[in-house]
Chain A
Amino acid sequence: MTRTKLLSAATTIAALALATAPAMAQTKFEFWYGLSGDLSERIQEMCGTFNQSQADYEIVCVSQETYENNLQNTIAAFRADKQPTVTQISDGGTLDLMLSGAYVPVRQLMEENGYDIKWDDYFSGIASYYSTSSGELLSMPFNSSTAMFYYNSDALKAVGFEGAPQTWEQVEKIARDLKAAGYDCPVAFDPTGTWQWFEQFSAAHNQPIASNGNGFGGLDAVVQFNQGKFVDQLTWIKKMYDEGLFVAKSKAIGETANDAFVNAKCQMSSSSIADHGTFGKQAIEGMLWDVTMLPLWEGTERTNTLVGGASLWTLKGSTPDQYKGAAAFYAFLATPKQAEWWSTVTGYIPVTNSGFKAMTDKGFYSAAPYKGRELAIQSLTATPPTEYTRGVRLGNFGAIRLEVANAMQEVLFNNVPVQQALDAAAERSNAVLRKFEATYPGQTLP
Chain B
Amino acid sequence: MERRAFYQNPVLPWLLLAPQLLLVLVFFYWPTSQALFWAFTLEQPWGGGNTWAGFNNFLYIFGDGRYWATVARSAFYAIAVSAISMCLALTLAMFVDRALKGTRMFQSVFVWPYAIAAPAAGVAFRFIFAPEAGLIGAVNEMWPGIWNPATNGFHALGMVIVCHAWLGIGYNFIFFLAALQMLPKSLSEAGAMDGARPYRRMLDIQLPLIAPTVFFLLIMNLISSFTDSFGLIDVMTEGGPINATEVMVYKLYVDGFKGLDYSGAAAQSIVLMLLVIALTFVQFRWVEKRVHYN
Binding site for B on A (CB under 8 A): 1-2, 68, 72, 75-76, 78-79, 96, 100-102, 248, 250, 252-254, 396, 398-399, 402, 406, 409-410, 412-414, 428, 431-432, 435, 438-441
Contact = CB atoms under 8 A, between A and B. Distances in A.
A396 B44 contact: no
Given A1-B119, A102-B47, A409-B242, 16 more contacts: A78-B46, A79-B46, A100-B44, A252-B237, A252-B238, A253-B150, A253-B151, A254-B131, A254-B133, A396-B261, A399-B258, A410-B242, A412-B151, A413-B241, A414-B153, A439-B44
B242 A414 contact: yes
A439 B51 contact: yes
Nearest to A78: B46
Contacts of A250: 150
A18 B240 CA distance: 39
A352 B131 CA distance: 46
B48 interface: yes
Interface string B43-56: 11111100101000
B243 A96 contact: no
A253 B241 CA distance: 10
Q: Which of A409, A412, A439, A441 has the most CB of B within 10 A?
A: A439
Contact of A435 (B42, B241, B242): B42
Contacts of B241: 252, 409, 413
Given A252-B238, A254-B133, A413-B242, A68 B258 contact: yes
Interface residues of B, number: 35
B130 interface: yes
Contacts of B150: 250, 252-254
Nearest to B53: A438
A393 B102 CA distance: 67
B46 A72 contact: no
Contacts of B152: 413
Contact of A438 (B51, B131, B132): B51
Nearest to B152: A413
B28 interface: no
Contacts of A396: 259-261
Interface in B245-289: 257-261, 263-264
| Those 8 A-B pairs whose CB atoms lie nearest each other, nearest first | A100-B46, A399-B259, A253-B150, A413-B151, A252-B150, A439-B42, A102-B46, A409-B242
B240 A75 contact: no
B67 to A, nearest CB: 12
A435 B264 contact: yes
A441 B51 contact: yes
Nearest to B65: A424
A75 B45 contact: yes
B237 to A, nearest CB: 7
B234 interface: yes
A235 B119 CA distance: 38
Contacts of A253: 131, 150-151
Contact of B240 (A96, A252, A414, A432): A252
Contact of B151 (A2, A248, A428, A438): A248
A225 to B, nearest CB: 18
B48 A96 contact: no
A407 to B, nearest CB: 9
Contacts of B243: 406
A219 to B, nearest CB: 13
A122 B140 CA distance: 53
B151 A96 contact: no
Contact of B48 (A68, A101, A413): A101
A133 B47 CA distance: 24
B47 A435 contact: no
B250 to A, nearest CB: 12
